[in-house]
């Protein structure tokens, strides 16, 4: 799917309705008006869909988005808010947590927009007149990332949270650039064999770190942890000196801004305690370009790792079993 990501991104935004702001619904006696001002955006979803919220949260740190982004990966909404917009993302449309959160949002009278390829989320929301953006399919939810992320970005623009129009193509450049680095990705995968990767990221690259960890889990069936600094530098870092067998530190670095320099110091310190961190530099200039470079490059790394381990990358049986029992 990765070579299709540029076209998936471009196709997916064609389906975002122009008139989102003029929607007015009445559900169980509650009027939900999409034209009103919002003071936050809740992005709810799980796994490969939920990571869209983490990535947007990263981007909003750079873009200075007008309202806070609240990432929710739960069956409940985080807390009562006054005027949030809720974006419910589920690739399959059949994830119980996301459907429950969308229903809770509607019960509270919040405007909700669904992003999905179909499933029960689409049926349930459409039946109530709630806008649903149907997005193109990929081989599995996580391989459809741009088709979930790009419509969400357009929604943010429609609700005047941030202007994204001039950024979208940079994300596609990030994908295309990463596709030129497959050999490096394979090399990185080789270095991860027989280890538990500890993924170090700064707060502003949390989405890339979480995506890498999730892809290691789901594609390579490989255990991994993410440590987000600065906080991770105030606790996880202390565990480096125990030299636990098998930990492999991977530091994902953005450009050399203050946060980049923070990671450099971190790398020096953990190296002085015997760790041998692998450094992954995100390439690009624009925030979306860097995130998409990271998601693509590290995703390909996990596919290469799956191949090295002789693991089938697409299926995720334990997740499927859990979801079937929850549905
Ligand atoms: C499987 C995958 C999972 C799913 C998660 C939620 O490819 O990526 O992490 O994304 O189970 O399912 P959806 O995305 O269908 O709501």
Answer yes or no: do 177 and 161 share one domain.
Answer: no
Q: Do 230 and 266 touch, CB atoms closer than 8 A?
A: no
Answer yes or no: do 216 and 279 share one domain.
Answer: yes
- Which secondary structure element, helix H or strand E, spans residue 212, and what is its range? helix 206-220
Answer yes or no: do 195 and 161 share one domain.
Answer: no
Answer yes or no: do 124 and 63 share one domain.
Answer: yes
Nearest residue (by CA) to ligand 1, atom 11, is 47
Q: What is the CATH number of the domain that holds 243?
A: 3.40.50.10490
Q: Do 290 and 282 touch, CB atoms closer than 8 A?
A: yes
Residue with tokens 């940079």: 170
Answer whether residue 319 is part of any domain: no
Answer whether residue 257 is part of any domain: yes
CA of 95 to the centre of ligand 1 (A): 8
Nearest residue (by CA) to ligand 1, atom 16, is 90
Q: Do 178 and 293 touch, CB atoms closer than 8 A?
A: yes
Answer yes or no: do 150 and 36 share one domain.
Answer: yes
How confident is the model at residue 244, as a pLDDT?
65
Nearest residue (by CA) to ligand 1, atom 9, is 47
What are the angstrom distances between the C-alpha of 81 and each of 33, 108, 157, 194? 16, 9, 21, 45
The number of domains in the chain is 2
With a Cβ cut-off of 6 Å, ligand 1 is lined by 46-49, 90-92, 95, 98, 140-142, 218, 316, 319
Answer yes or no: do 41 and 116 share one domain.
Answer: yes
Is the ipTM reported for this complex over the cut 0.85? yes
User: Can you give the length of the chain in residues?
Assistant: 327
Answer yes or no: do 260 and 235 share one domain.
Answer: yes
Answer yes or no: do 110 and 198 share one domain.
Answer: no
pLDDT digit string (tens) for the chain, length 327 residues: 999 999 999 999 999 999 999 999 999 999 999 999 999 999 999 999 999 999 999 999 999 999 999 999 999 999 888 999 999 999 999 999 999 999 999 999 999 999 999 999 999 999 999 999 999 999 999 999 999 999 999 999 999 999 999 999 999 999 999 999 999 999 999 999 999 999 999 999 999 999 999 999 999 999 999 999 999 999 999 988 776 668 899 999 988 778 888 999 999 999 999 899 999 999 999 999 999 999 999 999 999 999 999 999 999 999 999 999 988
Answer yes or no: do 13 and 63 share one domain.
Answer: yes
The count of other CB atoms within 10 Å of the CB of residue 274 is 10
Q: Do 89 and 44 touch, CB atoms closer than 8 A?
A: yes
The DSSP secondary-structure symbol of 312 reads: -
Answer yes or no: do 24 and 103 share one domain.
Answer: yes
Instruction: Report the distance separating Cα 294 and Cα 314, nearest Å.
Output: 20
266 by DSSP, 3-state: which?
helix
- Which range marks the domain in which residue 10 is found? 2-165
Nearest ligand 1 atom to the CA of 316 is 1
Answer yes or no: do 35 and 156 share one domain.
Answer: yes
Q: Where are the beta strands (DSSP E) in the chain?
A: 24-27, 30-33, 40-44, 69-72, 84-90, 112-116, 132-134, 196-202, 225-229, 247-253, 278-281
CA of 25 to the centre of ligand 1 (A): 29
Residues β-bridged to residue 113:
87
CA of 318 to the centre of ligand 1 (A): 12
């Amino acid at each position: 799917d990765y070579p299709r990501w540029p076209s998936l991104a471009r196709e997916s935004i064609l389906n975002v309705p122009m008139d989102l702001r003029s929607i007015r619904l009445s559900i169980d006696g509650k009027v939900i008006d999409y034209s009103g001002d919002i003071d936050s955006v809740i992005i709810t979803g799980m796994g490969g869909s939920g990571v869209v919220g983490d990535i947007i949260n990263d981007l909003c740190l750079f873009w200075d988005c007008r309202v806070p982004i609240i990432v929710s990966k739960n069956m409940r909404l985080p807390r009562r808010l006054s005027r949030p917009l809720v974006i419910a993302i589920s690739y399959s449309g059949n994830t119980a947590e996301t459907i429950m959160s969308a229903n809770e949002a509607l019960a509270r009278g919040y405007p909700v927009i669904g992003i999905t390829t179909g499933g029960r989320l689409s049926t349930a929301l459409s039946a109530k007149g709630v806008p649903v953006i149907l997005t193109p399919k990929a081989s599995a939810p996580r391989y459809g990332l741009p088709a979930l992320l790009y419509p969400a970005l357009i929604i943010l623009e429609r609700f005047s949270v941030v202007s994204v129009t001039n950024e979208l193509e940079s994300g596609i450049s990030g994908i295309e650039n990463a596709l030129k680095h497959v050999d490096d990705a394979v090399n990185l995968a080789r270095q991860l064999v027989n280890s538990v990767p500890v993924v170090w990221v700064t707060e502003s690259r949390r989405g890339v770190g979480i995506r890498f960890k999730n892809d290691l889990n789901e594609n390579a069936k490989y255990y991994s942890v993410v440590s987000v600094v600065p906080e991770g530098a105030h606790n996880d870092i202390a565990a480096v000196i125990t030299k636990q067998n098998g930990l492999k530190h991977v530091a994902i670095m953005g450009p050399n801004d203050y946060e980049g320099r923070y990671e450099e110091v971190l790398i020096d310190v953990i190296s002085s305690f015997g760790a041998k961190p692998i450094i992954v530099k995100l390439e690009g200039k624009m925030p979306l370009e860097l995130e998409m470079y990271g998601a693509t490059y590290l995703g390909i790394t996990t596919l290469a790792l799956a191949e090295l381990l002789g693991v089938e990358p697409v299926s995720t049986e334990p997740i499927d079993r859990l979801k079937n029992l929850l549905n």
